[in-house]
């Protein structure tokens, strides 16, 4: 990656920070564009100041700042957790539509390659299991998740249209991902359950917990995204990136509770509207086209993630204590 300049939109967020770390480690210069809606400067503050990293605070749904020459673009900018992307649904949709359009135009103007972070949410509440890329999905156009799901579906459409006119675009459909640099208030099940268990709060299972998800450790995902960027010929159509190890939410909670000693009780909350009942990637295409498959089982990645949240919660408690002492 030495000599290459890589633009990472959403680079101060969970996946973006992990990807940036890997790109810098491999010798790339990185430009991050992030509006800090869910990304955090504290993530970037961990990088050595001498590394070739430039941060621009900007929203990709507004006109883009001047960026100069870039070789590669990873479009990771978008709130991805249901409570965060539903907080401002119109903005979520425009991030995926206007934001992606502007980045595609940038790629067209500069000859940069673009990897688009799409999502397993394009399959909605799937009627086919596991989900292959050929499955067209079962998505509500009007429900509370539509701003994200339909925004990403529209982004895939734009990417495909630009690809047909010669722009080098690759689409990753990312399944549930977890690991260090997740926010403790992210609102997704892995961060909620770990943080609840670590702080003896009630563990919230939505519905009966029979719904399934398949959790991919972030290092595996970053590896998949980089392989997708670097494979010689752009795949014809999207590629699923996820870990096919499938758990019911109840099973996943039990795995966490095997690893954290806690006084937390399990409580049930109503299942959110349009919550997908089953989700598991078929990763045949990623195996074949990218030579990629996840290497880190959930039980292993979970330990690192628990370590990350323990430290994050301690830092937060320390900061609160310091503020109280000053007041």
Q: Which residues are catalytic?
A: 148
Tell me the C-alpha distance between 83 and 89, whole Å. Answer: 10
Q: 137, 83 in Cβ contact below 8 A?
A: no
Per CB under 6 A, does 221 bind ligand UDP?
Answer: no
* Residue 163: φ, ψ to 5°: -65, -40
Per CB under 6 A, does 302 bind ligand UDP?
Answer: no
* Residue 231: φ, ψ to 5°: -65, 140
Rank residues 5 and 37 by Cβ distance to ligand UDP and give the closer one.
37
Per CB under 6 A, does 122 bind ligand UDP?
Answer: no
Exactly one of 183, 188, 227, 285 binds ligand UDP (CB under 6 A); which one?
188
Exactly one of 101, 167, 205, 216 binds ligand UDP (CB under 6 A); which one?
205
Per CB under 6 A, does 189 bind ligand UDP?
Answer: yes
Smallest gap from residue 8 Cβ to ligand UDP (A): 22
SS3 274: coil
Q: 42, 64 in Cβ contact below 8 A?
A: no
* Residue 235: φ, ψ to 5°: -55, 145
Cα atoms found within 13 Å of the Cα of residue 257, Cβ hemisphere only: 16
Exactly one of 18, 75, 163, 211 binds ligand UDP (CB under 6 A); which one?
211
| Maximum distance among all Cα pairs of the chain, rounded to whole angstroms | 61
Rank residues 74 and 175 by Cβ distance to ligand UDP and give the closer one.
175
Distance of CA 57 to the CA centre of its chain: 19
Q: Which stretch, 62-70, 103-111, 200-208, 284-292, contacts ligand UDP (CB under 6 A)?
A: 200-208
Per CB under 6 A, does 43 bind ligand UDP?
Answer: no
Per CB under 6 A, does 249 bind ligand UDP?
Answer: yes
Residue nearest ligand UDP, CB atom distance? 188
Tell me the C-alpha distance between 112 and 7, whole Å. Answer: 10
Structure tokens at 118: 């799409």
Per CB under 6 A, does 251 bind ligand UDP?
Answer: no
Q: State the binding string over 141-160 for ligand UDP (x if CB under 6 A, else -).
A: --------------------
Strands in the chain per DSSP E? 5-9, 29-34, 53-57, 72-75, 113-119, 169-174, 177-178, 203-206, 212-214, 216-217, 239-241, 246-248, 266-269
End-to-end CA distance of the chain: 48
Q: Which stretch, 11-19, 101-109, 184-192, 294-302, contacts ligand UDP (CB under 6 A)?
A: 184-192
Q: Which stretch, 11-19, 35-43, 125-133, 201-209, contacts ligand UDP (CB under 6 A)?
A: 201-209
Task: Give residues in contact with ligand UDP (CB under 6 A).
Answer: 81-82, 176, 188-189, 192, 204-206, 211, 213, 249, 271-272, 275
């Amino acid at each position: 990656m030495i000599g290459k300049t890589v633009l990472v939109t959403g680079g101060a967020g969970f996946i973006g920070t992990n990807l940036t770390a890997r790109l810098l480690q491999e010798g790339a210069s990185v430009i991050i564009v992030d509006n800090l809606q869910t990304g955090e400067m504290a993530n970037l503050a961990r990088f050595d100041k001498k590394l070739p990293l430039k941060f621009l605070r900007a929203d990709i749904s507004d006109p883009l700042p001047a960026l100069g020459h870039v070789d590669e673009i990873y479009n990771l900018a978008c709130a991805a957790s249901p409570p965060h992307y539903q907080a401002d649904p119109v903005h979520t949709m425009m991030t995926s539509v206007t934001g992606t359009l502007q980045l595609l135009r940038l790629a067209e103007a500069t000859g940069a390659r673009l990897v688009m972070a799409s999502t397993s949410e394009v399959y909605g509440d799937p009627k086919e299991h596991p989900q292959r890329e050929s499955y067209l999905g079962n998505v509500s156009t009007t429900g509370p998740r539509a701003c994200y799901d339909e925004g990403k579906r529209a982004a895939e459409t734009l990417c495909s249209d630009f690809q047909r006119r010669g722009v080098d675009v690759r689409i990753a459909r990312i399944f549930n991902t977890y690991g260090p640099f997740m926010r403790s208030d992210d609102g997704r099940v892995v961060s909620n359950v770990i943080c609840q268990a670590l702080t003896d709060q009630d563990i919230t299972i939505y519905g009966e917990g029979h719904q399934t998800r398949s959790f991919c450790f972030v290092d595996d995902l970053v590896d998949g995204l980089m392989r997708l960027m670097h494979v010689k010929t752009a795949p014809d159509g999207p590629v699923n990136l996820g870990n096919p190890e499938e758990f019911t939410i109840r099973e996943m909670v039990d795995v966490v509770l095997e690893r954290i000693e806690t006084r937390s009780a399990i409580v049930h909350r109503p299942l959110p509207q349009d919550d997908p009942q089953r989700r598991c990637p078929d990763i045949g295409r990623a195996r074949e086209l990218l030579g990629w498959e996840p290497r880190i089982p959930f039980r292993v990645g979970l330990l690192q993630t628990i370590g990350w949240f323990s430290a994050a919660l301690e830092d937060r408690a320390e900061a609160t204590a310091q503020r109280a002492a000053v007041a």
